[in-house]
Amino acid sequence: MVEGRDSLMLQSLVFVRRIVAAFVLMYVVTGVASAQQAQPIDSRTADQMYKSIQVLKGTPAAELILAMHYFRAALGVTCEYCHVEGNFPSDVKKPKEVARQMISMVFDINKNTFQGRQVVTCYTCHRGHVQPIGVPVYPLDEQMPEAPPPALPSVDQILAKYVQALGGEQAIRKVTSRVITATQYIPTGPGGTVPVPAQSEFYQKAPNLVLNVYRTPTYSISDGFDGTTKWAQDATGRVSEALKIDQVRARRSASLYESADLKQQYSRMTVSGVERVNDRDTYVVVANPPDDRPERLYFDRDTGLLLRKLTFLPTPIGDIPCEVNYDDYRDAGKGVKVPFMIRMIPANPRVEMGVIATVRVQKVEENLAIEDSKFAKPAPRPAPPR
């Protein structure tokens, strides 16, 4: 009986991996055509956009691929386990039906036991394995007496120390623009699993203008925030606007003075404890933005600098953690420190969860004269002749 259920779980993850690759490939191949549909993806459901959707009917189409990424991470399988190569909508493989049963089971547990809150997910039992572990594994963890909780500073004390560690509020607000040149690998291909080297340029101008340009040996892409709208331009020249949740987050983080204004960005902030980040003790601040998932900010207990920011991207079957780590802070030239090493897991919120991107800063220039027009949402480039 247990063996049969384990097999069901295995089949469910394969379903995820298969459908992820298929959907990502489908989006890449048909992206231009999809953009021309009258109904934007923000308002379309998965069953309106894709074939053979059953238990996830009504799910926003924009969240479906994210759900597939979550399945892959939760069970550790590939898409091909559930899907037919070249014909992903096909239902001929049994694991695909098993996956649907497992999804329905999770939905029912959360609905009937937790009043609809998303408490149980695939990861609750699988923990990255096809077969859930249902019995204790030896050696058992030794139960150590809990140490008394450490005395914690207040949120205001932590934020004040952070601002001072960066150079002080006066120095931060004297910077009116910043241009960062860096190298990194950008995620491409199905699920973002194919890294491509890129030279990156990040432009910021007060109060809240952003432009990011990524140049590879064969193409360039860009994205930005023009003070109102977050936009992106792909390698073909097609321009699109970000989904609603990304618009909200871009509006919150676009400020050049975000570090000095953190208290104003959130409706509530609390200090939850001390955790280790990259061999450093940090104070963990749980920050609740209006109408969004809580975020976790990790400040070095000794230096005061921000070492990690953890956000969560909601999907129909569980939240995807998005981790940004900051390291190698240096004075950029105007008395303000910036991190010269930034590591993102995943590389961006909409690629597979195991994909990592590391930004290595080469040069920082501040207070350059930059026209506002540089940050404007660009017009689509004409398609090349066939």
At residue 300, does pLDDT exceed 90?
Answer: yes
pLDDT digits 0-9 by tens, 210-242: 999 999 999 999 999 999 999 999 999 999 999
Q: What is the 3-state secondary structure (H, E, C) of 243-289?
A: CHHHHHHHHHHCCCCHHHHHHHHCCEEEEEEEEEECCEEEEEEEEEC
Computed over every residue of the chain, the mean pLDDT equals 85
pLDDT in the model for residue 66: 84
pLDDT(3) > 80: no
Query: Which pLDDT band, with edges at 50, 70 and 90, does 384 fall under?
Result: low
Query: What's the pTM?
Result: 0.83
Interatomic CA distance for residues 384 and 222, integer angstroms: 19
The 3-state DSSP class for residue 15 equals: helix
CATH architecture entry for 155-375: Clam (2.50)
Distance CA 367, CA 371 (A): 12
Q: pLDDT (tens digit, 9 = 90+) per residue, 84-125?
A: 888 888 888 888 888 888 889 988 999 899 998 988 898 888
Spell out the domain ranges in the chain: 2-126, 155-375
More confident residue, 206 or 6: 206
Given a cut of 70, whether residue 37 has pLDDT beyond it is no
pLDDT for 41 beyond 60: no
Which segment of 27-31, 137-141, 304-308, 366-370 scores lowest on mean pLDDT?
27-31
Q: Which of 67-76, 342-351, 366-375 has the highest mean pLDDT?
A: 366-375
5 or 77: which leads in pLDDT: 77
3-17, 125-139, 198-212: segment of lowest average pLDDT: 3-17
Give the pLDDT band of residue 34 (cuts 50, 70, 90): very low
Q: Which CATH class is domain 2-126?
A: mainly alpha
The fraction of the chain above a pLDDT of 90, given in percent, is: 55
Nearest to 230 by CA among 250, 245, 213: 250
pLDDT at 187: 92
Q: Is the pLDDT of residue 357 over 50?
A: yes
Mark residue 310 as left, alpha or beta (left: phi above 0; alpha: psi -120 to 50; beta: remaining). Answer: beta
- Terminal CA-to-CA distance of the chain, rounded, Å? 58
Check if 2-126 and 155-375 are the same fold.
no
| pLDDT given at position 324 | 97
Name the band, by pLDDT with cuts 50, 70 and 90, for residue 42: low
